Structure 1
Amino acid sequence: MPLAVTIALAMAIAAAHKRVPPALASRLLAITLGAVVVAAAPAVWLTALDFLTHLPIFGTGMRRSLEAVGVAVPATEGHRRVSPWIGVPAVTMTVWGAAQACRAVRRHRQLRDDTHSPIDVADCDEPFAVTLPGRGGRIMLSRGMFDLLDDRELAVVLDHEQAHADHRHDRYLLVEQVGTAVFPLVRPLGTRLRFSLERWADEEAAASCGDRSFVGQTLGKVALHNVQPATGMSFGSLGTVGRVAALLGPPVGAPRRVEVAAIGATMGLTCLLAMVQLHHLEPLIRLLCPG
């Protein structure tokens, strides 16, 4: 029940992400996503482990392997068995999620660049712009992007990508990738987080350019020809229609005190219920392993 309410509150916070400034929305969504994953993942892993240890052949081998490395595993007689309707999805989510999370971390480390470097130009006809992970804030533009845009439009793209680098949006992106891999039910939160990060960079570019509509026009122009890179924060990567619509309207103002109080209370309750869910792990262990 605490986990179910936590997820419901998290979705309520996500629903309001367009009503607050993108920078604030990004931080709120990242914290919320992390709280839900921390609350849910251990319960899923524990359920998967208990299901595997009760399997006729695989479970015996797993217990012997654990005992071989010094981990005492009690006999499973009298323990409550996890239903296959719950155990199989839990095992699938655990194995697949761990593999995808490791892949995301490995890709992040491979692309990470902590040395400051000038803008790199990729010899590619397809237009794209991307900021790579790391403190260096390495920005890569394709030759096709230079051919597509004029100098003023290129300045907008560079301001957008520089905002990703300055605010280390790669860290937010890593949280989203690992969190959605470990617990796929938070994928709607991850999508909104990525959208808010792009909106954050759009607003930074608009502030630098001084013309919101021109930034929106540049975004629309790039989106018609854009190719999404394998990773990184890309100028035309997500939610183009919503981002252009936001740029064509006035900027989102600071939330009122009532809204701040409501958001703060919801965030606090979400984190509190996540802690309660973690506290319920011990009763769950006692239920599955009464010995």
Structure 2
Amino acid sequence: MNWFTFLPLIIMLALSVALARIPSRLHPSWSARLLATTGAMTAVAALGTGVFVAINYAATLVPSAAAHVPEWALFGDDRPVPDAVGVPAAALAAAGLVTACRAAARWGAELRAARADVREPLDTDVPIAVAVPGRNGGVIVSRGLLHELTPEELQVVFEHEASHLRHRHHRYLAGGALAAAVLPPLRSLDGRLRLAVERWADEDAAEATGDRAFVARTLARVALAQPRAAGPVSAFAESGVVERVEALLATPPAKNAVTGPLLFMGNGVFTGSLTAATLQLDHVIASSLLALLATG
């Protein structure tokens, strides 16, 4: 084992932190894609690195068991994994896997409970609108929302929620929430992702209604709704209301028809390669060095 084992995770963490802190000038749809992809890949890289090191540490403790482990799961050298590295890696990998499983179970329970409420308006005076994905999903609204808003304002809300359902935003949110659960330093990335997803739906609603200022006023009016816990469903006035209103009152963002797809594809190839390398980097580095020596 050498420090190259942790290089993909270090690079992924650095990229995730950078994306969370640097304001993006892309359209919210492309910002959301970049953040979700990077966050999810970083979480997978963290879990993969931890499991990889833990397997090799177990092989160090019980060398006879290494014969039953696939070759791709072992380091490219026979050096033992020290206790100072193996024990924390095994503990963190186990904790990460448990956290991910608990988060998935919690999201599933939340979705099932939300789908049960889709059939009729929520009996509350608080104006609430929530997009619930899935075959039996739809849009949950409260009686307070139906009573307080005009038909035109309700159209804004439903256009916003329809955008969440049409683009399957719950998958983006699940990726960000997974990253934040497994790696707490990525909570800022999760927050920026949630804002980007809401901004994406705001822009779709503004485009559908043709009145950005009216969408901004409707959003501000519904902002008194109680925020929901972070999960795979989105409420209309869930987060970043002030920033969203300011964005709607400003010039519409560019569509990024060329730069958006190119950046997204490049980011996907880069992060995907790094994530795959969490199990094979030792072998790749060794092979590359041998090839360079042979050609030199």
Q: Using structure 2 for the length normalisation, give the TM-score.
A: 0.73
Q: Distance in 2 between matches of 1:146 and 1:125?
A: 9
Deviates more, 1:104-113 or 1:130-139: 104-113
Find the residue that maps to 1:18 and give its secondary structure: coil
Aligned to 2:185: 185
Find the residue that maps to 2:108 and give its secondary structure: helix
Q: Per-residue deviation at 1:38? A: 2.0
Aligned to 1:9: 15
Query: Would the aligned equivalents of 2:48 and 2:278 in 1 still touch at CA under 8 Å?
Result: no
Q: Distance in 1 between matches of 2:133 and 2:259?
A: 37
Q: Distance in 1 between matches of 2:260 and 2:104?
A: 35
Aligned-residue CA RMSD (Å) = 3.6
Query: Would the aligned equivalents of 2:130 and 2:234 in 1 still touch at CA under 8 Å?
Result: yes
Aligned to 1:150: 150
Q: Per-residue deviation at 1:47? A: 4.8
Q: Per-residue deviation at 1:40? A: 1.8
TM-aligned CA distance change 1:156 to 1:88, over 3 Å: same
Q: Distance in 2 between matches of 1:11 and 1:127?
A: 35
| Equivalent residue letter for 1:31 | T
Aligned to 2:226: 227
Q: Per-residue deviation at 1:271? A: 3.2
Aligned residue runs from structure 1 range 91-240, under 5 A:
91=91, 93-110=92-109, 111-112=111-112, 120-223=120-223, 225-230=224-229, 231=231, 232-240=233-241
TM-aligned CA distance change 1:256 to 1:172, over 3 Å: closer
Q: Per-residue deviation at 1:48? A: 5.9
Find the residue that maps to 2:140 and give its secondary structure: strand
TM-aligned CA distance change 1:274 to 1:212, over 3 Å: same
Structure 1 unaligned regions, length at least 5: 73-77, 284-291
Q: Distance in 1 between matches of 2:34 and 2:237?
A: 23
Q: Per-residue deviation at 1:6? A: 2.4
Aligned equivalent of 2:46, options 40, 48, 54: 40
TM-aligned CA distance change 1:118 to 1:130, over 3 Å: closer
Structure 2 unaligned regions, length at least 5: 1-6, 70-78, 285-296
Q: Per-residue deviation at 1:13? A: 4.0
Q: Using structure 1 for the length normalisation, give the TM-score.
A: 0.74
Q: Distance in 2 between matches of 1:258 and 1:133?
A: 29
Q: Distance in 2 between matches of 1:98 and 1:266?
A: 25
Structure 1 residue 243 and structure 2 residue 244: aligned?
yes
Query: Would the aligned equivalents of 1:160 and 1:205 in 2 still touch at CA under 8 Å?
Result: yes
Q: Distance in 2 between matches of 1:204 and 1:234?
A: 15
* CA deviation vs aligned residue, 1:27-51 (integer Å, no higher than 9, x gap): 2222212222222212224556778
Aligned to 1:274: 275
